[in-house]
Chain A
Amino acid sequence: MHDLRFTIPRQDLNREAFASSVPDFNLKSDLMKTDMGYKCRITNIVSLTEQEKLFRLRIVDPEERRIFRFKPGQFIMLELPGFGDVPISISSASSNHEFIELCIRKAGHVTSALFRIDTGMHVAIRGPFGSSFPMDEMAGHHALLIAGGLGIAPLRAPLFWINEHRDRFRDVHLLYGAKEPSQLLFSYQFDEWKTISHIRLHTIVEHADAEWKGSTGMITELFRDITIDAKNTYAIVCGPPVMFKFVCSCLDRLGIPMNRMFVSLERRMHCGMGKCCRCMVGSTFTCIDGPVFDYWSVMNLKEAI
């Protein structure tokens, strides 16, 4: 009798891309964890608002901690065993190899469960996945970062990057809008960004309360307050889907070239590897071609924004 069985080598195909005897198809994979997660311990949880919490995760295995590297703008799939996994953008510094921070809004099945867990519990992450912001290309230019609501979470990684390499950038503007003053996230870092990193921070809220002294209105109104050198500016936009259209047309009017405007898109994801197709926009996968797209690509994608 002939044996038909083809056996895949026992070792986990994704675990060790450097191992000598991996099948050749796996050499195409440039990251280690696609099916097995990195096990992480939650070391700290900060309640930012009623809806958002900042989770600090530390990869348990020191070797895995050494391997895990990401670029600003990338995301990970956060796995809560038994509940599911969700795509979450990384909002800590890419130079920080000790822990990663995830700013999570309580929105669905998995995140609601996450809000019930305590420090010391274990979760898993897969990734990092996706494209990143072109931080190296941006060097030597002005930077204009625009965030709406939870959109500040993926922008925190490039912000950290800019803070660490502040001398490489010229003027840095951060426009940040939220529904209410209480929903402005990371307000405890505003002073640090303004004074230490010399970031020109402009905040705006839709509905002001009694104590609010800043501007009120839509985020596009902040464009009246700033003067930018459009020819030498890179813009990064991140926010809810409705925001992109208005902000991007504003930027277009300012004269920022399309290939220097970057947006970070949000879609439903189940795999992060371009296989489940849930995040497909036209023929493009948000998980492998995105989530960071330049505006030219987005313009060419039907139903992207």
Chain B
Amino acid sequence: MIYKVISKSEFRKFIDALVRQNTSFGPRQVDRNTADEPIYQFMPVSSVDDIEFDYTLTTSSAKHFFLPFRDQLSRFSFQNSDFEQHVAYEADPVVLIGLRPCDISALNILDDVLLNGRYPSPYYLAKRKNTFVIGMDHLPLPDCFCKSLAHHTVSTGFNLFCSDIGEKYYLSINSSKAFTYLEEFQTEEPSCEDNCLMTRRRKLISESFRTEVDVTSLPSILDIEFESPVWDKWGAKCLNCGTCAMVCPTCYCYSVDEHFDIDLKGASRNRQLYSCNLVDFAVVAGGHNFRPKNGDRLKYRYYHQHRGFAENANQQICVGCNRCGRACLTGINPKAVINDLRMEKESCMTCVSPSPDRT
């Protein structure tokens, strides 16, 4: 990693040059919510003026650039009683600007999931390798809890990371591509003062978190509380809409379906992102549903996010961005569910004994 500082005006020139030459996406305000707060999304940008660098957090995560909601896996063309299958692992280069540390951490987790193991995904690899990621830090929102999962800072998975230190940006350069690009612009070696400002910035971010979720030993708690009535309680609220999985930066479960072309001369095999909260997630042919209850499916989501992957790769899959909590229509948020499991507020719901800290 190479560190540089760049003045804000020069940084805008750099971004402008990058954006004008490449297909780029950056945070833009798309609407306002009922509380009159702006809603941001990663949208196509054509100049630096389109990008809102001081945005809070986008509603959808950056995963959709790597795992599109719908993605074609292969094509079939039919001739007589025969067919030909075509598979292409291609992706056009894309520049993503302004990803938050939690977004980049999420990409690192997706890398772990999709590029490791016996069957790495070439579709994901092509997109990941063709994306130029520029990260930016931010002051946490009141309900962000990424610090609890140690994802408020990030050290890999990006090409360039920018920290706002007042008059300048402190740049962490993590790829030769980014370095070559920046050579054409005026950057400086960080001075002692810059380093000091950077450390102060890190400290400020770290101290600004107002929400904390205790996730230590959560994998075993999830195991022990498998039959807990907590799941019935939250399951009764769940609408099975799947919104949480759509906005989640790490949810990658999908479904594959095939469609004939309208002229019947071909067919396509598509992948579509799915959610484990949807009713038919585990339905097998013949109609048996392995997870028939709302609570079962909600539990499975937490199980996968906080336990399943922890066991396989020693890492919880949640990054603590709380997008699911904000997007949930019935107000199910991870902090409340996890605290319930830990018996933080009420007494144990099964045996009605007071919670440990009250005895």
Number of A-B residue pairs at CB separation under 8 A: 154
Answer yes or no: B38 CB below 8 A from chain A CBs.
Answer: no
Within A201-244, the residues touching B (CB, 8 Å) are 241
Answer yes or no: B55 CB below 8 A from chain A CBs.
Answer: no
Within B271-285, the residues touching A (CB, 8 Å) are 274, 276, 281-285
Contact indicator A288/B304 (Cβ below 8 Å)? no
Answer yes or no: A196 CB below 8 A from chain B CBs.
Answer: no
Contact indicator B254/A267 (Cβ below 8 Å)? no
Q: Across the interface, which residues of A come within 8 angstroms of B260, CB to CB?
A: 82
Interface membership of chain A positions 1-14, coded 1 if the CB is closer than 8 angstroms to chain B and 0 otherwise: 11111101000111
Instruction: Kindly specify which of A116-124, A159-167, A179-187 makes contact with the partner chain.
Output: A116-124
- Looking at chain B's contact residues, the main secondary structure is mixed
Interface membership of chain B positions 214-235, coded 1 if the CB is closer than 8 angstroms to chain A and 0 otherwise: 0000000001001000000000
Q: Across the interface, which residues of A come within 8 angstroms of B283, CB to CB?
A: 268
Contact indicator B284/A1 (Cβ below 8 Å)? no
Interface membership of chain B positions 97-136, coded 1 if the CB is closer than 8 angstroms to chain A and 0 otherwise: 0000000000000000111111111100110011010000
Contact indicator A25/B120 (Cβ below 8 Å)? yes
Answer yes or no: A273 CB below 8 A from chain B CBs.
Answer: yes
Q: Beyond A2-B180, A29-B119, A81-B76, is A270–B254 a contact (Cβ under 8 Å)? A: yes
Tell me which of B256, B284, B308 contacts A84 (CB under 8 A): B256
Q: Across the interface, which residues of B come within 8 angstroms of A124, CB to CB?
A: 83, 85
Tell me which of A30, A274, A302 contacts B226 (CB under 8 A): A302
Report how far A127 CA is from B301 CA in the complex, Å. 28
Place the interface of chain A in its size category. 35 or more
Contact indicator B121/A275 (Cβ below 8 Å)? yes
B95, B285, B309 — which one has the most chain A CB atoms within 10 A of its CB? B285
Report how far A277 CA is from B312 CA in the complex, Å. 13
Contact indicator A273/B118 (Cβ below 8 Å)? yes
Tell me which of B92, B254, B267 contacts A276 (CB under 8 A): B254
Q: Across the interface, which residues of B come within 8 angstroms of A276, CB to CB?
A: 253-256, 274
Task: List residues of chain B with CB under 8 Å of any chain A CB.
Answer: 21-22, 73-74, 76, 78, 81-83, 85, 87, 89-90, 92-93, 95, 113-122, 125-126, 129-130, 132, 177, 180-181, 223, 226, 252-260, 267, 269, 274, 276, 281-286, 288, 290-291, 296, 300, 303-304, 307-312
Task: List residues of chain A with CB under 8 Å of any chain B CB.
Answer: 1-6, 8, 12-14, 25-26, 28-30, 34-37, 39, 81-86, 105, 107-108, 111, 120-122, 124, 241, 266-268, 270-271, 273-278, 280, 282-283, 288, 302-303
